Amino acid sequence: MEKQKSDKARTKTGPKRPMSAYNFFFKEEKTKWLNENKKGVMDDGQSGSRFKAMTNAVSSKWKTLSEEEKAPFVKMAEEAMKEYRKIKSAFSEKTLEDAKLLQSTRKRKAEAQPGSLDTEIQQSQNAQPQQRSTFSASQHATSPSLPLGISSLGLNPGLLPQIERPESALQFLPFFSTTNPQQSDLFSRLRFSNPQSVAMPPFLPVPSNHQPSVAPTMLQVPANSSQAALLLQLNALEQQTYRRQLVDNMQLLQNRQELELANRLRESNMLRQLLANRPADAELLPSGSAVSVLEEILRNNATNLPNNSDIPRNSRQP
């Protein structure tokens, strides 16, 4: 069974292997044996399947053959092997050609496919350069204190003064000059030939077959993606630092509140001890805080208290 499975597996990937000398002999003797034993009666009288009996009979006969008697079957096997090698060589060449053809076909389809990643990136970079430059210029005009590259990327303007950014990191962003039209692109130069009459460039008209304008946070990444990624990382670091400072301030406020509460508890305990020693002063408890009550008690009893020098050491209050 394992041999039959292996032969079937070979036929899927190549030509079938040729028969051996024994296989040719078995094929010839099989016809003779079936003609002699049509009723399925066993020669030795033992019970068993017909195929098993035929296999045992042919195998025993093959073992009794001499080399001269086996020679015709060996020659047939050699010729079959030569034919198999020719077919296999042709099949290998055909398989190699088919593999190369399939690879080239897939490559052409990938290059010609409109939805491929490279094609989409190239089309997105060349689709609307005027819109990107105009959008960056308009946003820079609305907030002139903000750098043009930072405003076009949609970063947090409140955290920008905390960290300095090199000017070279902003050179890759599109630029639109409102005072010098020679520095802008050719299309803008044709539209705004009189720079004195232009305070802020309007948005360019978008044709119906183009994609709609995108939000500031959804602008496409510039050509130099490493610099854009650096700016985004700086913004994330600023936000993380701000959150950390906010958490620290909240912790300090909580500690201060706990300290004030502890001071009030200590003053309350002192007041209870004093009132326990002077029950006559308990009527002063509702007035003011613990400190004011203590001051009032001291003022009322200052004249009645003796000097410290007159009080024995063992009788002094703690």
Q: Is residue 212, in this structure, part of any structural domain at all?
A: no
**Residues 6 or more apart in contact with residue 248 via CB below 8 angstroms:** none
Residue 301 and residue 239 share a domain: yes
Give me the percent of the chain exceeding a pLDDT of 70.
Answer: 45
Q: What is the pLDDT of residues 140-185, one digit of tens each?
A: 444 444 444 444 444 455 544 444 444 444 444 444 444 454 444 4
pLDDT reading at 225 higher than 70: yes
Q: Is residue 13, in this structure, part of any structural domain at all?
A: yes
Residue 147 and residue 74 share a domain: no
Q: At 219, is the pLDDT very low, low, confident or very high (cuts 50, 70, 90)? A: very low
Q: Is residue 43, in this structure, part of any structural domain at all?
A: yes
Give the Cα separation of 98 and 105 in Å (integer): 10
Residue 254 and residue 177 share a domain: no
Residue 98 and residue 7 share a domain: yes
Burial class (CB in 10 A: 0-12, 13-18, 19+), 145: exposed
Residue 232 and residue 196 share a domain: no
The boundaries of the domain holding residue 196 are 133-201
Q: Is residue 254, in this structure, part of any structural domain at all?
A: yes
Q: What is the pLDDT of residues 292-311, one digit of tens each?
A: 656 666 666 655 555 544 44
Kindly report the average pLDDT of the chain as a whole number: 65
Give the Cα separation of 174 and 184 in Å (integer): 9
Q: What is the pLDDT of residues 237-259, one digit of tens each?
A: 999 999 999 999 999 999 988 88
The CATH number covering residue 91 comes to: 1.10.30.10
pLDDT of residue 129: 55
Q: Which of 102, 120, 155 is the last residue of a domain?
A: 102
Residue 159 and residue 80 share a domain: no
Q: Is residue 117, in this structure, part of any structural domain at all?
A: no
Q: Is residue 17, in this structure, part of any structural domain at all?
A: yes
Residue 283 and residue 230 share a domain: yes
Give the Cα separation of 201 and 178 in Å (integer): 7
Q: Is residue 215, in this structure, part of any structural domain at all?
A: no
Residue 157 and residue 96 share a domain: no
| Structural domains counted in the chain | 3
Residue 164 and residue 76 share a domain: no
pLDDT of residue 183: 47
Q: At 111, is the pLDDT very low, low, confident or very high (cuts 50, 70, 90)? A: confident
Give the Cα separation of 76 and 61 in Å (integer): 19
| Helix runs in 143-224, H state only | 148-153, 186-191
Mean pLDDT for the stretch of residues 8-18 = 64
Q: Which of 102, 125, 157 is the last residue of a domain?
A: 102
Q: Which of 81, 102, 123 is the last residue of a domain?
A: 102
Q: What is the pLDDT of residues 21-56, one digit of tens each?
A: 888 888 888 888 887 776 654 444 444 577 888 888
